[in-house]
Amino acid sequence: MASLRDIRKHISSVKSIKQITYAMKMVAAARIKRAQNAILASRPFAREMDRLIEDLYGELEEGDFSASTAKALFEERHPGGTLCLVLVTADKGLCGSFNTNLLKAAAAWLRENRGRKICVVVVGRKGRDFLKRLKGLDLEIGHEMVGIFPKAGYVHAQLLSDAILKVYLEKPVESVTLIYNEFKSMLTQRIVTDRLLPLKRHILEKGLGDRRKTGEFSFEPGKAELLGALLPRHIGAQLYRTLLESQAAELAARMSAMESASKNASELIDGLTLKMNKTRQAMITTELNEIVSGSEALGG
């Protein structure tokens, strides 16, 4: 049976942990509002940029598509070539199943593409460490970005976009797949596995490749040139929204996990306090019995 001293030390350590988890919960709660506002501000721009690219692609004639950059980002160039995975995780733990679910999704994607050459662009220390531990795969880390959360900004999205485009244009890459956590609500995050490049499949899935040309606008210097100039900005905008979604999802997951940890710590403290009181009561009862027994022995 544990002594009173051991129980008190246990209670003290649990209280210290509870203070830490409660402080982490409050920090995440203070940051989540700013992260939500950033998402709400970025989503309309990303959607409109997406629609602009789709509309402009729908305006292109067969002979207009001559710009090399635009064509490279839209058309499938290397069937059977290298696959590129962009994995966005957190830099730290203590956020529930946030990282675990992401790494499971990444592991499932890697299993599906076993035997293919894979180049990974990874955001977040947890994803980087996970990929470096993997063995038996034809996998290389083309670029890594760590330590940007919870202060991810557009400059990080631009750097990430430049790294992805460099890998995509300089290597024989077939496609670029994006895996990240999307923020749905304070209690819900959704794993998203999306095709980032090439863009043609994304356009055709929405049925915009065969849309009728409106002929309402004239373009200077040309449609293909304008599209080629807009595509890097479009990819940067989509990645910026991705980073903000992941950042808000991580903060929400951490706040929920720390709230549960604080609640569990309180319950554990209550249970240990009850155990301590019972132990102390048993010790007092034992001492009283010894005193009574000693008095009776002296009296006899």
Q: State whether residue 190 is helix, strand or coil.
A: strand
pLDDT tens digits for range 151-210: 888 999 999 999 999 999 888 999 999 999 998 888 888 999 988 888 876 665 555 444
Strand partners, 143: 121
State which residues form the domain around 164.
22-210+217-257
Could you give the number of structural domains in the chain? 1
Minimum mean pLDDT range among 89-98, 212-221, 227-236: 212-221
Say if 16 falls within a structural domain.
no
* pLDDT of the residue at 279: 86
Q: How confident is the model at residue 1 (pLDDT cuts 50, 70, 90)?
A: low
* pLDDT of the residue at 33: 86
Say if 289 falls within a structural domain.
no
Q: Say what the pTM is.
A: 0.82
* pLDDT of the residue at 246: 92
Q: 49: which residues sit within 8 A by CB, 6+ positions away?
A: 230, 233, 234, 237, 238
119: annotated active-site residue: no
d(CA 156, CA 74): 24
* pLDDT of the residue at 293: 80
Find where tokens 């929920």 sit.
Answer: 256
Residue 213 scores a pLDDT above 90: no
Say if 273 falls within a structural domain.
no
Say if 243 falls within a structural domain.
yes
Of residues 272 and 185, which shows the higher confidence score? 272
Determine contact, residues 230/56, Cβ cutoff 8 Å: yes
Q: How confident is the model at residue 280 (pLDDT cuts 50, 70, 90)?
A: confident
CATH number at residue 238: 3.40.1380.10
Helix 4-59 to helix 223-299 angle, to the nearest 10 degrees? Answer: 170
Say if 298 falls within a structural domain.
no
Per annotation, catalytic residue among 49, 88, 95, 165: 95
Residue type for position 8: R
Residue 217 scores a pLDDT above 80: no
Reference 245, options 74, 84, 85, 102; nearest CA is: 102
Say if 174 falls within a structural domain.
yes
* pLDDT of the residue at 234: 86
Say if 280 falls within a structural domain.
no
Say if 4 falls within a structural domain.
no
